Amino acid sequence: MKLLRKTWRLRRKFNGLASKCVAQMTLVMMICITVFLYHMGVFTHFLEKDYYTEFSYPMEGNLQPLIKELILGNEPHVKPINVFNYSYLKLCHDKCSSNASPELLFVIKSALHHFEQREAIRQTWGNQLHLPNVEVRRIFLLGMGFDPEVQRKVDEEDKLHGDIVQADFHDNYRNNTLKTMSGFKWAVEHCPSARYIVFSDDDMYISTKNLLRFIRKPSSYPEQESQPLLVKEFEHRDRSLKEEPALVDEGLEEQNEFGYLNEESKLYAGYVFHSPPQRHQSSKWYVSLEEYPYHLWPPYVTAGAYVVSRSALLDLHYGSFYTKYFQLDDIFLALVALKINIEPVHCPEFYFWKKKYSKLGYKDVIASHGYGDPDELRSVWNEQKLAGHA
């Protein structure tokens, strides 16, 4: 009998300890889950403001009169709120100094040490004489680093090719907005005759011919049929490549390749996203409520590759003076575009991911991400060129 009582007391004690352990484990699990959900931004989403009904972003008011004054070279009555503090170390000021007016200007964001990627671009879609009946210019945007040897090689590269624009901010991801806006400023001030400006990363595949097809009539691309091809002999003057004669689009030669858009068209086009901010704190694109309190971004064009007309370039450039700085360059441009009433044009043939390659599958591709391998870029682009698609 005593043994049974003792066993019963031990069992009660054990059950009590087990219940206590279960309760403690449950509490620990709940704390872990809560911390995880907080880290992932789940609770933050409940605190966001509604984009559609509450959106406001400095500065407020009608920016168009201010932009117009800046375009005319006048001093507006309201001072800019945004000052981009950088200076150009390499200006490449004679890139657009010829009498010809470039139809396309490629402005390519590149990392300091990406020498091979830049060379591959010069030999493929960035070749300034790929289509000899279309005036094309290119520059590469760089920041500054800390390795004197890398800078020495950049200096040599610029002497050889004359296509480096370098500013004195640190070349890293968090300064992408500075790098982008340094490209806008350069295009406005040093290539005023360029009709369309293509901004791109240095790991993109781009088809110049498809880009021209798109610019002709953005609303119908790619349903319009491609024009037949001609092979044109020409003297290659690009120092970066001794290349075979380019394939030329007969349609581009016989008519004004931009005849369907007037000079005042405010084209800002690429792959357009409608998405919420990333609130999980481990994300590369994490944004706090203090930085941006709304549940959606404005419609934004992904920064990998996009095209703007001259008129849109001017408005976006000067509009950026009156839009509070934001660290993500594609979002910053989206905020500027929203405040100056430029609606981004969506085209699914600007791929922000790497589209799986096939010869026919790239027929209408304008741009595709994921070509950081210079040899792969050359291989794909050369095959598309021979097929008449690049």
Residue with the larger pLDDT of the pair 179 and 32? 179
251 backbone dihedrals φ, ψ, rounded to 5°: -65, -35
CB burial string 36-64: b at 16+ within 10 A, e below: eeeebbeebeeebeebeeeeebeeeeebe
With H, G, I as helix, E, B as strand and everything else as coil, classify residue 366: coil
Per-residue confidence (pLDDT) for residue 268, from 0 to 100: 98
Give the whole-number percent of the chain exceeding pLDDT 90.
Answer: 68
Beta strands in 275-358 (DSSP E): 300-301, 305-309, 345-346, 350-351
Q: What is the mean pLDDT of the chain?
A: 85
- pLDDT bucket at 219, cuts 50 / 70 / 90: confident
Furthest-apart CA atoms within the chain: distance in Å = 112
Per-residue confidence (pLDDT) for residue 280, from 0 to 100: 85
Angle formed at CA 211 by CA 209 and CA 215, multiple of 5 degrees = 120
Per-residue confidence (pLDDT) for residue 250, from 0 to 100: 37
Per-residue confidence (pLDDT) for residue 94, from 0 to 100: 87
Least confident of 93-97, 101-105, 366-370: 93-97
pLDDT(289) > 70: yes
pLDDT(178) > 70: yes
Q: What is the DSSP string of 241-285?
A: ---PPPEEEHHHHHS-TTTTS-TT---EEE-EE--PPB--TTSTT
With H, G, I as helix, E, B as strand and everything else as coil, classify residue 142: strand
Per-residue confidence (pLDDT) for residue 40, from 0 to 100: 60
CB count within 10 Å of CB 156 equals 11
In total, the chain counts a number of residues equal to 390
pTM as predicted: 0.82
Mean pLDDT of 163-188: 94
Per-residue confidence (pLDDT) for residue 32, from 0 to 100: 60
Q: Give CA separation, 175 vs 32, 167, 168, 374, in Å.
A: 35, 11, 11, 25
With H, G, I as helix, E, B as strand and everything else as coil, classify residue 307: strand
77 backbone dihedrals φ, ψ, rounded to 5°: -75, -15
pLDDT(278) > 70: yes
The top-scoring range by mean pLDDT among 253-262, 277-286, 345-354 is 345-354
Residue with tokens 């290349």: 243
Residue with tokens 């092979």: 231
Give the whole-number percent of the chain exceeding pLDDT 70.
Answer: 78
Report pLDDT digits (tens) over 306-319.
999 999 999 999 99
Among 221, 178, 189, CA closest to 307 = 221
Per-residue confidence (pLDDT) for residue 43, from 0 to 100: 60
Residue with tokens 């005759």: 193
**Helix (H), strand (E), coil (C) string for 32-58:** HHHHHHHHCCHHHHHCCECHHHHCCCC
Report pLDDT digits (tens) over 235-262.
223 333 333 334 344 333 333 444 445 5
**CA dihedral of residues 210, 216, 222, 224 (deg, nearest 10):** -120
Per-residue confidence (pLDDT) for residue 9, from 0 to 100: 62
- pLDDT bucket at 44, cuts 50 / 70 / 90: confident
Mean pLDDT of 377-389: 96
Residue with the larger pLDDT of the pair 374 and 216? 374
